[in-house]
Amino acid sequence: MITKSKLSADPTALILGIISLVIILFGCCCGFLAVVSLILSIIGLVTATNSLKDYYANPDVFSHQSKQNVYTAKIICIIGTVVSALFILAFAAAFMIYQISLSDLFKEKIEEINSNKANDSLFNNESVIEYKINDSIYKDSTYVDSLNSN
C-alpha cells in the first residue's frame, strides 16, 4: 500500500482556525482580542488555500483525508474571519457613538462656560433675566436707543 503525504497546512490551519474561534467566542469583551482572532484566522485561511492549491495541482501525492482536514480548516477560518470582522465593526461603531456623545457633552459644557462669561451681572450665578424692569441698565439703554431712532 502506498502512503500518501499530508498537506503542509493540515494541522496548522485547523489549529489556527480553532484558536481564532475560541478567542473570539470567549474573549469577545476585549476589542484587542478580536484583532488577534482576525489575524490568526486570516493566516489560517491563507495557508489552507495554498495547501488546497497544492493538492489540486498534484492530487496523487497527498491523501484525501488531509485534503478534507484542510478544507474543514478553511471553513473554520472563514467563519472566524467573518465573526472577528463583525466584532471589530461593532466595537468601532460603539466607539464612534461614544465619541459623538462625549463630544456633545464637551460642547454643552463649553457653551455653558461661555454663557457664564457673557453674563454681565454682579454675581456669578445671577442672570440678566432676573433683574426687574425698572432696575435694569440694559433696559434703560435700550429705551434711550429707541428714542434716538425716531
Percent of the chain with pLDDT over 70: 73
pLDDT at 136: 47
* Chain mean pLDDT for the chain: 77
What single-letter DSSP state applies at residue 132?
A: -
Per-residue pLDDT tens for 69-87? 999 999 999 999 999 999 8
pLDDT at 143 over 70: no
CA dist 79 → 27, 41, 70, 102 (Å): 16, 8, 14, 34
pLDDT at 122: 52
pLDDT at 139 over 50: no
148 or 110, which is more confident? 110
Our CA dihedral for 88, 94, 95, 98, rounded to 10 degrees, sits at 180
113 or 36, which is more confident? 36
Amino acid letter, residue 1: M
CB–CB of 83/24 below 8 Å? yes
